[in-house]
Structure 1
Amino acid sequence: MGSANHCSLGRQRGMSYWGWLLVIAVLGFALTCVSKMAPAYVDARYVSEALKTLGDNPELESMSTGQIKKELGRFFLINNVRGEPTKSLQVVRGAKSTVVSINYELRQPLIYNVDVVMKFNKQLDTAKPELCCHPLVDLEQFRKRD
Structure 2
Amino acid sequence: MGGYDFSSLRNQRGMSYWGWLLVVVVFGFILTCVSKMGPAYIDAYYVDEGLRKLAENAELRDMSRGDIKKELDRFFRINNVRGKPTKAVKIVRGADSMLVSVDYELRQPLIYNVDVVMKFDKQLNTAKPELCCKPLVDLEQFSKRD
- Scaled by the length of structure 2, what TM-score is found? 0.96
The one-letter amino acid paired with 2:24 is I
Provide the C-alpha distance between the structure 2 equivalents of 1:8 and 1:96, rounded to a whole number of angstroms: 77
AA aligned to 2:108 is: Q
List alignment gaps of at least 5 residues for structure 2: none
Query: C-alpha displacement at 1:10, in angstroms?
Result: 1.9
Runs of 4+ with deviation above 2 angstroms: none
**Residue in 1 aligned with 2:81?**
81
Deviation track 1:96-118 (CA, whole Å, cap 9, x = no partner) reads 21000000000000000000000
Q: What SS class does the counterpart of residue 136 from structure 1 fall into?
A: coil
The alignment's C-alpha RMSD in Å is 1.1
Q: How many residue pairs were aligned?
A: 145
Partner of 2:108: 108
Q: Distance in 2 between matches of 1:144 and 1:103?
A: 16
Residue type matched to 1:16 in 2? S
2:100 aligned counterpart, secondary structure: strand
- Match of 2:144, SS? helix
Structure 1 gaps, min length 5? none
SS in 2 for 1:43: helix
SS at 2:90's partner residue?
strand
Q: Secondary structure at the match of 1:35?
A: helix
Hey, what does 1:33 align to over in structure 2? 33
Counterpart Cα distance in 2 of 1:16 and 1:58? 63
| Residue 28 of structure 2 corresponds to residue 17 of structure 1 | no
Determine which structure has the larger helix proportion and give its number.
1
Aligned-pair distance for 1:6?
3.5
Match of 1:54 in 2: 54
Percent identity, please. 72
Q: Structure 2 CA distance, aligned partners of 1:138 and 1:58? A: 26
TM-score (norm 1): 0.96
